[in-house]
A and B are shown apart, each in its own frame.
Chain A
């Protein structure tokens, strides 16, 4: 029973480039969440999606960041024109419908912006 999968595990980008982070939820889970963990800080909520819908994006910066969860395929977190402050670990979590508080996390993507 595969867990939440994220790729790539490590991503290096130069300032101004785009970063695309992918997340495949656990089988049977229809809710996807993205969190960001800055060095020496706790995890901060970014966005919550269901298939083809963004439900809550209150934690996501309004500029340069976007997320989607298409009908087919993984959820994508996209960061345009990356800056050094975007360097962080980005985690995806998934939960089954009705059990939002039992979120299972992927291994994360560590983004480094040079």
Chain B
């Protein structure tokens, strides 16, 4: 069974700080997706990483896919209160290329 483990589970920081959250697995994934979910809303797709070692940047967010395609990280530079939310990583189930397996998420709170 493929699992995605995210760490830390909770993160509370001050505005302007940098942070990194992690998504790890013992299984290889063909791709990984990062979503952000705000209370009462659905997950919003931030990025998809496909190639081992790939780095993608989205403004102050930097996403990296591990060389072995078993892990990924999300780094936020100079966090802002608007970055507050639940960050989820997800990847396709190798047993069926249509369903996503989700990690439990990292809940980030950025205080002014």
Contacts and interface: CB of A to CB of B under 8 A. Distances in A.
Interface of A: 4, 6, 31, 33, 35, 41-45, 48, 55-56, 58-59, 91, 100-108, 110
Interface of B: 30-31, 33, 35, 40-45, 48, 88, 90-93, 96-105
A13 B86 CA distance: 28
Given A41-B104, A42-B102, A102 B88 contact: no
B98 A31 contact: yes
* Most chain A beta-carbon contacts within 10 A, residue among B48, B91, B93, B96: B96
B44 A105 contact: yes
Contacts of B92: 100-101
A4 B44 CA distance: 11
Given A42-B102, A45-B99, A56-B96, 9 more contacts: A42-B88, A42-B103, A45-B101, A48-B98, A91-B43, A100-B97, A102-B45, A103-B33, A108-B42
Contacts of A59: 99
Contact of A102 (B33, B43, B98, B104): B33
